[in-house]
Amino acid sequence: MSGATLSQLNNFDEIIDVRTPTEFSEDHIAGARNFPVLSNEERARVGTIYKQVSTFDAKKLGAALVARNIADHLTHRFADRPKSWRPLVYCWRGGKRSGAMTHILQQIGWRAEQLDGGYKAYRRAVLQALTTLPGQLRYRVICGSTGAGKSELLRALAALGAQVLDLEALAAHRGSILGGLPDCPQPGQKLFESRLWNTLRRFDPAQPVFVEAESKKIGSLRTPDALLDAMWRSECVHLDADREARADYLQREYAHFLQSPETLCVKLDYLTAMHGRERISRWKDWARNGQWSALVLELLDNHYDPAYQKSMRKHYARLDTATRVAIEDMREENLRRAAAQLI
C-alpha cells in the first residue's frame, strides 16, 4: 500500500468503502462503512455494456450512476459531517470509483484521501502481516477437554483487562463439527483474516495474549500457519473439569440442538465414517427421544475426548508443563476467580 499503509488506517476519521454491497460483504477494511457508488445491479449492468457494446457507452452510463449515487450519499449520509472531517476512501484497485468520491469530497472542502491500490493492496498487506505479526506476540494457550469452559474463561479474562484472542468469536464457530452457531453464518476466509489482523495489531507485545487451543480449521475457515506455529510453541494453561459438569454445560450451551433434534441428526451423519452406522443410529435415537445426558456423555467419551488428546499431544509441545486450573462448574464467580489467578 503505497498511500495509506496498514499502520496509517487509524489516522482517518472514517474509512469509506465505495464498492458494491456484495464486494463489501466478502471482505473489507476493519471499521469501514459501505457507501457504494454503484449497486450490485448497476455494476453488472455497466460491465455488460462494457463487454457487449463499447467502452465509451459503459463509461458514460457509469459516470451518470456514480454521480447520482454520490449525490444521494451527500444529501442523506454525509450531511452532518463537520468541515474538519478526514475520510479515507477506497474501491477495488484505487481507481475510478474511489477517485470520483474522493474528488467530490475534496472539492467540497473535506480532507478526503484515496487509498492507493485500493482493497487489493490492503488485502496483500494483510496477508503479509499475518505471516509475521503472530510471531511477535507471546501467547498463553487455554487447553482443556470439550465443555471445560475455555471460551468462558477467555471472556472472564477479557473482562478483567487481559489481552484475549477469541478465534471462535472471530470465526463465528465453536470449532467442532457441531460447532456452528444458530442463525449466525461464518464469515468468508478473507473477512476472517481481516478480523484477525485487526485484533492482533492492537495487542501490546510486552503483555501475554490468552487464546484457546484450536486446530487448523475452525468450521470452514483456516487458521493462518504463522499463528498456529506460534501457539503450538507457547505456554499452556490446562482446565480440569468434571465429566458430568462438562456434559451439563454442553447441554445448556447447545440448547438449539435440544430444540431441533433433527438438525443434530444431520450433523451426526458426518461422523459415520469414524464411528459406524450402528453407533450413529443409536446416538440419533437418543437425540430424538430426548436422552441428552446419555448422548452427550457418550459423545465426550467416544469422540471429543479421544480426538482432543490426540490433537493436543501432537501439536502442543509444552502441554506436560501446563499450569493446571480446576473448574468446579461454569458459574461466573468460579471463572472470574480462575481468570484472576492466571493474570
DSSP string, 250-313: HHHHTHHHHH-HHHHHHHHGGGHHHHHHHHHHHHHHHHHTT-HHHHHHHHIIIIIHHHHHHHHH
pLDDT of residue 69: 98
Kindly give the parts of the chain with pLDDT less than 70.
1-5
pLDDT of residue 5: 63
pLDDT of residue 1: 55
> Which residues are the active-site residues?
91
Q: Return the bridge partners of 325, or none.
A: 239
- Phi, psi (5° rounding) for residue 319? -65, -35
pLDDT of residue 179: 81
**Contact in structure between 87 and 16 (CB atoms under 8 Å):** yes
Domain spanning 6-128: which superfamily? Rhodanese-like domain (3.40.250.10)
pLDDT of residue 2: 40
196's CB contacts (< 8 A; 6+ apart) are 130, 167, 170, 224, 227
**Contact in structure between 216 and 223 (CB atoms under 8 Å):** yes
> What span, in angstroms and rounded, lies between the C-alpha atoms of 15 and 3?
14
What residue ranges of the chain are covered by domains with CATH 3.40.250.10?
Answer: 6-128
Between vectors from CA 90 to CA 87 and to CA 91, what angle results, nearest 5°? 150
Q: Which three cell numbers stand for residue 8?
A: 496509517
Instruction: Supply the DSSP symbol for 173.
Output: B
Type of residue at 144:
G
Task: Please say whether the dihedral angle defined by the alpha carbons of residues 276, 279, 282 and 287, taken in this order, is positive or negative.
Answer: negative
106's CB contacts (< 8 A; 6+ apart) are 112
Q: pTM for the whole thing?
A: 0.91
pLDDT of residue 3: 41
Pick the CATH number of 137-342 from 3.40.50, 3.30.450, 3.30.300, 1.10.10: 3.40.50
What residue ranges of the chain are covered by domains with CATH 3.40.50?
Answer: 137-342
> What span, in angstroms and rounded, lies between the C-alpha atoms of 190 and 94?
19
**Contact in structure between 236 and 321 (CB atoms under 8 Å):** yes
**Contact in structure between 316 and 232 (CB atoms under 8 Å):** yes
Between vectors from CA 117 to CA 197 and to CA 225, what angle results, nearest 5°? 30
